């Protein structure tokens, strides 16, 4: 009998579920709206629908599914399979593993923090193949991270290791959502970049960004900043440089602490790679020990939008990946 | 035949060598001046003299010594057993393991970074017994660190993991010896504290520190600051608070990134524990995630001045400690 693995990526707006063969290759996937506003029962129903969909469309029986991996935003209790809370989902203390084991009859099911799952996905199926120790950093609205040590996710004592976005890199910096000032996330995330840009446009209405926004500064986003930069707007280019400086500083800190073989960068902000790559790399080089800088590869995520679900599949495969 | 383990702690001013039984208990130790100014051959001779001394005084033969561990400041190449450079010792690219194997006939000999060795010593013989993941931080002239993951030293890709002292926590902070601004070491080490105090005394000659120094501000040190604080000097007390704030911030960063079960603090600055414990703990609590803060124990080194040599013994014992 063949063995298959199911991965489920639970997001605030969509659920992406896929089934993979024993090499981790995705055979079929299914995406559905999470319908987070409709509450726990509807969300669970939607997850079940995606599972049924991929099983039916691949003609794989439940008995052939060796295990399921779930990637979800945290905080979680991965050991007990409980989602403690999600910023974008209206549920609390959801024993998701137990619920899905009951509904599907499939066991075991493993729950994992989404950034950790993504790190594991990149390690086995993406940019990190062949590397034992790496840090995956996702830079989008916020900054999250997953740490792989000796080919496994490093969880830490209470399951929250890898919160690199809340490393403080400038105590006089802007307020972060976590209540502290100058976290990496407050200095270099998409939200931070938008905030910087808004301020710049407020003070400089001659910026091409102002024209692109038709004066509605609340519509500022990465695309507008990139477009203005592309048009030669120095102010927009400087925003990327400033964010890139802090990206470089935060990454350099991680190099000095962890001395990893690889840093993999994912998340929406990577779309602007061409604007920040150079100043970011300069920032890393300037702030990291030579030996840490010269021994690390800085790569972009290779799994792109599939990083969540491929990570969930890696979580499902677990120790099988080590052999 | 019994097995014994030799540990050698090579410092800029002294060499401390000890021999331990298979439980890691030190039977006898010997301390000698390093005589760093006399060059490589004399230093090696002095190391050999300490080895001969502990063997002779314990009546243990070379054949009974299972292995030797060396703790040395870095940078090192631990795999090849080479000391690349030491700030306080006038040698470069010293193949110390090969040299000592030749001179003693004892093999294997393991070389380890002193902060890593200290971390391992605390893990097995000190404050960290029973804890799998911990970070040892030594705060003295500089700030160094050693990371223990799954009961072993975490070395990183190029052997420099654990350089927590060069995590940048305030890019507008003072210049660090490494060339960057606002490293943890530049904000909270003994050197940083003395620099802060000197500035305070320059501006406030009414401070009790000024009287204690008899006006010679270059003589400022932790003892004077502590003494003035003890005498009720608010300025001196504030210096500890300020340093403690940055200690707390740096440690909190490590908690958010690593979520370790324990942080062990060593180094000379710990002598002033009573002055900074409270504000440091407040700083950690304020800047770390609740879950990371509530799951970590913050402890002082239990091995004190022996941390180096006990760490070297732990290095010598290696994987025997795991069984």
Residue A122: count other Cβ atoms within 10 Å of its Cβ.
Answer: 30
The H or E element spanning position A71 is strand A65-72
- Within 8 A of B296 by CB-CB distance, chain A residues are 157
Do the Cβ atoms of B287 and A75 come within 8 Å? no
Do the Cβ atoms of B258 and A161 come within 8 Å? yes
- Give me the domains of chain B, ranges plus CATH numbers: 4-112+306-322 (3.30.420.40), 127-301 (3.30.420.40)
Do the Cβ atoms of B159 and A259 come within 8 Å? yes
- Kindly list the distances between the CA atom of residue A181 and the CA atoms of A168, A175, B43, B256, in Å, as whole numbers in the listed order: 7, 4, 48, 15
Cα separation, B236 vs B123, in Å, equals 34
Q: What is the mean pLDDT of chain B?
A: 95
Average pLDDT over residues B130-142: 96
How many angstroms separate the CA of residue A45 from the nearest CA in chain B?
31
User: In this predicted model, what pLDDT tens digit does every residue of B103-121 receive, in sequence order?
Assistant: 999 999 999 999 999 999 9
Q: Give the phi and the psi of residue A205 in degrees, each rounded to 5.
A: -70, -10
Per DSSP bridges, beta strands B26-33 and B14-20 are antiparallel
Q: Which residues of A13-50 are buried (b: 16+ CB within 10 A; e: fewer)?
A: ebbbbbbbeeebebebbbeeebebeeebeebbebbeeb
Interface test with A, best of B144, B156, B161 (most A CBs within 10 A): B156
Do the Cβ atoms of B156 and A249 come within 8 Å? no
Q: Which of B156, B178, B295 sits opposite A133 (nearest CB)?
A: B156
The H or E element spanning position B258 is helix B234-258
A69 DSSP β-pair partners: A7, A110
Do the Cβ atoms of B156 and A294 come within 8 Å? no
Per DSSP bridges, beta strands A109-113 and A65-72 are parallel
Q: Give the phi and the psi of residue A20 in degrees, each rounded to 5.
A: -130, 155
User: In this predicted model, what pLDDT tens digit does every residue of B289-310 receive, in sequence order?
Assistant: 999 999 999 999 999 999 999 9
- Within 8 A of A253 by CB-CB distance, chain B residues are 167-168, 253
Q: Which residues contact A121 (CB under 8 A, 6 or more apart)?
A: A303, A307, A308, A310, A311, A312, A313, A314
The H or E element spanning position B248 is helix B234-258
Do the Cβ atoms of A292 and B158 come within 8 Å? yes
Per DSSP bridges, beta strands B76-77 and B82-86 are antiparallel
Interface test with A, best of B133, B154, B167 (most A CBs within 10 A): B167
Give the model's pLDDT for residue B55: 97
Sign of CA dihedral B41, B46, B47, B49: positive
Do the Cβ atoms of A254 and B257 come within 8 Å? yes
Q: Which of A158, A162, A180 sits opposite B287 (nearest CB)?
A: A180
Do the Cβ atoms of B168 and A252 come within 8 Å? yes
User: In this predicted model, what pLDDT tens digit does every residue of A136-154 receive, in sequence order?
Assistant: 999 999 999 999 999 999 9
What residue in A sits closest to B245 (Cα-Cα)?
A171
Q: Which residues contact B201 (CB under 8 A, 6 or more apart)?
A: B207, B209, B210, B213, B217, B220, B235
Sign of CA dihedral B213, B215, B216, B217: positive
Q: Under an 8 Å CB criterion, which residues of B touch A?
A: 75, 133, 145, 147, 149-150, 154-164, 166-172, 178, 180, 249, 252-254, 256-261, 286-287, 289, 291-292, 294-296
User: In this predicted model, what pLDDT tens digit does every residue of B38-93 receive, in sequence order?
Assistant: 999 999 999 999 999 999 999 999 999 999 999 999 889 999 999 998 877 888 99
Contact B298, B281 (CB under 8 A): yes
- Within 8 A of B159 by CB-CB distance, chain A residues are 259, 291
Do the Cβ atoms of B259 and A295 come within 8 Å? no
SS3 A175: strand
- What average pLDDT values come out for chain A (323 residues) when binned by 10 residues? 92 96 96 94 97 97 97 93 88 96 97 98 97 97 96 96 97 94 97 96 94 93 93 95 97 97 96 94 96 97 96 97 91
Q: Which of B149, B166, B291 sits opposite A160 (nearest CB)?
A: B291
Task: Tokens for B174, please give them.
Answer: 């003072």
What residue in A sits closest to B181 (Cα-Cα)?
A287
What residue in B sits closest to A253 (Cα-Cα)?
B167
Contact B167, B250 (CB under 8 A): yes
Angle between helices B307-317 and B114-125 in degrees, nearest 10: 80
How many angstroms separate the CA of residue B173 from the nearest CA in chain A?
9
Which of B254, B249, B261, B251 shows the shortest CA–CA distance to B296? B261
Angle at A7 between CA A89 and CA A271, to 5 degrees: 70
Give the model's pLDDT for residue B14: 96
Q: Which of B147, B260, B287 sits opposite A168 (nearest CB)?
A: B287
- Within 8 A of A292 by CB-CB distance, chain B residues are 156-158, 160, 163
How many angstroms separate the CA of residue A37 from the nearest CA in chain B?
28
Q: Which residues contact A166 (CB under 8 A, 6 or more apart)?
A: A176, A178, A180, A183, A184, A185, B256, B289
Give the model's pLDDT for residue A1: 63
- Within 8 A of B166 by CB-CB distance, chain A residues are 256, 289
Place of tokens 């677990």: A318
- Within 8 A of A159 by CB-CB distance, chain B residues are 259, 291
How many angstroms separate the CA of residue A99 from the nearest CA in chain B?
25
Do the Cβ atoms of A256 and B75 come within 8 Å? no
- Kindly list the distances between the CA atom of residue A61 and the CA atoms of A28, A66, A265, A313, in Å, as whole numbers in the listed order: 14, 11, 36, 17
> Number of Cβ pairs closer than 8 Å across A and B?
128
Do the Cβ atoms of B163 and A256 come within 8 Å? yes
The H or E element spanning position B91 is strand B89-94
How many angstroms separate the CA of residue A103 from the nearest CA in chain B?
31
Interface test with B, best of A130, A168, A294 (most B CBs within 10 A): A168
pLDDT at B1 over 90: no
Contact B297, B5 (CB under 8 A): no
- Within 8 A of A258 by CB-CB distance, chain B residues are 154, 156, 161
């Amino acid at each position: 009998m063949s063995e298959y693995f199911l991965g489920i990526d639970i997001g605030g707006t969509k659920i992406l579920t896929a089934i993979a063969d024993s090499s981790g290759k995705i055979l079929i996937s299914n995406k559905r709206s999470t319908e987070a506003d409709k509450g726990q029962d509807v969300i669970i129903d939607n997850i079940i629908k995606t599972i049924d969909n991929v099983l039916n469309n691949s003609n794989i029986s439940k008995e052939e599914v060796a295990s399921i991996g779930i990637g979800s935003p945290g905080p979680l209790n991965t050991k007990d399979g409980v989602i403690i809370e999600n910023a974008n989902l209206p549920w609390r203390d959801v024993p998701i593993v137990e619920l899905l084991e009951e509904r599907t009859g499939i066991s075991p099911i493993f729950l994992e923090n989404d950034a950790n799952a993504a790190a594991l996905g990149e390690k086995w199926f993406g940019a990190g193949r062949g590397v034992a120790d790496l840090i995956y950093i996702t830079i989008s609205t916020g900054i999250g991270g997953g740490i792989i040590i000796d080919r496994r996710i490093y969880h830490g004592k209470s399951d929250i290791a890898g919160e690199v976005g809340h490393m403080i890199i400038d105590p006089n910096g802007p307020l972060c959502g976590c209540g502290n000032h100058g976290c990496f996330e407050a200095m270099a995330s998409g939200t931070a970049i938008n905030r910087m840009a808004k301020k710049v446009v407020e003070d400089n209405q001659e910026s091409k960004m102002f024209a692109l926004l038709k004066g509605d500064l609340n519509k500022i986003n990465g695309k507008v900043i990139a477009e203005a930069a592309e048009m030669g707007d120095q102010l927009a280019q400087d925003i990327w440089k400033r964010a890139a400086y802090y990206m470089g500083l935060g990454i350099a800190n991680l190099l000095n602490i962890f001395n990893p073989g690889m840093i993999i960068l994912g998340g929406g902000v990577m779309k602007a790679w061409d604007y920040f790559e150079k100043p970011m790399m300069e920032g890393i080089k300037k702030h990291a020990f030579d030996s840490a800088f010269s021994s690390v590869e800085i790569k972009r995520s290779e799994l792109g939008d599939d990083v969540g679900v491929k990570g969930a599949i890696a979580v499902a495969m677990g120790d099988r990946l080590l052999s």
